[in-house]
Amino acid sequence: MPGCCVPCCRRWSPTRHFSEAFYTATYPDIAQAYASGRIPDLHQHFIEAGFFEGRMGASPDVDEKFYTTTYRDVGTAIRNGDVLSGEDHYVRSGAAEGRVPNPAAQAVVDTWMHALNPT
């Protein structure tokens, strides 16, 4: 999808909500680029680049019990202090791995995974 028109990307993005506070707190490199003026518009950056880099535009709706029960390795990583929470894991790597943050998101994740990996 890189190179698609911005209005189309806004419509297709699984993260329709956007939070500047979340985006800059989660991605220090983005916060630094924004502060220096290299990124003038955070939402525009997310749509045109961040989304395709695997970044999230807002805090995902991670059901901690579902996530840590479904992905027992995450529960273990939390207990071991390797990650802070299911949400922390999902933002850092779970989304890119195709993990599902909550039961209601299963169909959306399946659709995106099929679109990105049609084989």
Average pLDDT taken over every residue of the chain: 85
CA distances from 80 to 30, 50, 71, 73, 74 (A): 29, 30, 15, 10, 10
Q: What is the pTM of this model?
A: 0.69
> Which pLDDT value is given to residue 67?
97
> Which pLDDT value is given to residue 1?
41
Please state, for a pLDDT cut of 70, what percent of the chain lies above it: 87
> Which pLDDT value is given to residue 98?
83
**Number of residues written out for the chain:** 119
What pLDDT, in 10s, does the model give residues 103-116?
988 887 777 777 77
What single-letter DSSP state applies at residue 101? S
What pLDDT, in 10s, does the model give residues 22-51?
999 999 999 999 999 999 999 999 989 998
Assess whether pLDDT exceeds 70 at residue 57: yes
* Under 8 Å between Cβ of 48 and 9: yes
